Amino acid sequence: MSNTRVLPLLEPESDVAACCPPLDERPLSAREAESAARMFKALGDPVRLRLFSLVASHAGGEACVCDISDVGVSQPTVSHHLKKLKEAGLLSSERRGTWVYYRVEPSVLAAMGALLAGAAKTV
Amino acid sequence: MSNTRVLPLLEPESDVAACCPPLDERPLSAREAESAARMFKALGDPVRLRLFSLVASHAGGEACVCDISDVGVSQPTVSHHLKKLKEAGLLSSERRGTWVYYRVEPSVLAAMGALLAGAAKTV
DNA sequence: CACCTGCATCGATGGACGTCAACATAGACA
DNA sequence: TGTCTATGTTGACGTCCATCGATGCAGGTG
């Protein structure tokens, strides 16, 4: 455990992780919605969702770009989408020698899960 | 065991509720990603997210369109976004007399929560 | 040094999307 | 019937976005 490392969250661009209450608790403010929508939007593209799932499900929690080649789009497009996922705070990247490795950013995922967990209980 | 046989995925338009395994279980197929991305995409707009949160947090789990007027966009735009949320399977609507009421579709939310719950555990 | 490979960036293009005003439709009421 | 109110629909417009080929850059290998 001890995995709950809280991000600094200083930049207004990436106030992404601890932004919002459960969706059914109260109406989101414009600011909250803006920040949360960025995360959902990042996963709102089929290619990005496959890329993200590919990284998330890969052994060790990280994947090299070289492992990704069968998503049906060109290499520049893959790079473009990985960048988008990184900008949304969902992935982080690290270059090790020749290859670049991407890994899932757990805190942001937890935030999205919290948003939905509330609304899912709404029956 | 209990290999969680998934649904037949009948309608290509609304295979939305029980589409996908947790994001970190295995790479999503193109079909799965397509279906799941539709849901995320629907929440990927700030206005739609506010509308959805507004309905989800409203008393009784439903809200009349007349309750919604302060999202910062015109009425036709509100109607447009509500339609999008409905097409994505996140909301359902019902006309009762003069007013139209929208409510949250719980199964779809549960599906999205399941997708993320898996990936959130990924540390 | 030169050469090759893995990945990012650039510039262009076609399509999708958010937004609005104008109009259409449906129900309530007189 | 007619009129008013509440929503949905249409058409248009501007912007964003996914995609690609070409190119650039970094790191390994000879």
Does residue B8 surpass a pLDDT of 80? no
Residues of B in contact with A24 (CB under 8 A): 53, 56-57, 104
Q: Where are the domains of chain A?
A: 22-121
Q: What integer pLDDT is reported at residue A76 of this predicted model?
A: 96
pLDDT tens digit string along A68-118?
878 999 999 999 999 999 999 999 999 999 999 999 998 888 888 888 876
The residues close to strand C, meaning Cβ under 7 A, are: A 64-66, 75-76, 78-80, 82-83, 93, 98-100; B 41, 44-45, 47-48, 73-74, 76-77, 80-81, 84, 95, 97-98
Distance, in Å, from the CA atom of A19 to the CA atom of A16, rounded to the nearest integer, reads 6
CB B105 within 8 A of CB B89: yes
Q: What integer pLDDT is reported at residue B5 of this predicted model?
A: 31
Q: How many helices (H) and strands (E) does chain B have?
A: 4, 3
Could A30 and B46 be called an inter-chain contact, meaning their C-beta atoms sit closer than 8 Å?
yes
Pick from A3, A112, A123: which is nearest to B116 by CB? Answer: A112
pLDDT tens digit string along B93-105?
999 999 999 999 9
pLDDT band for position A21 (50/70/90)? Answer: confident
For A22-121, which CATH class?
Answer: mainly alpha
pLDDT tens digit string along A37-73?
999 999 999 999 999 999 999 988 899 999 987 899 9
Q: Give the percent of chain B with pLDDT over 90.
A: 58
Does residue B84 surpass a pLDDT of 90? yes
Q: Which of A68, A108, A109 to mutate to test the interface with B (most CBs of B within 10 A)?
A: A109
Distance, CA of B79 to C1' of C22, in Å = 15
Range list of β-strands (E), chain A: 62-64, 91-96, 99-104
A40: nearest Cα among A93, A122, A123, A109:
A109
CB B79 within 8 A of CB B65: yes
Q: Which fold has domain B30-121?
A: Arc Repressor Mutant, subunit A (1.10.10)
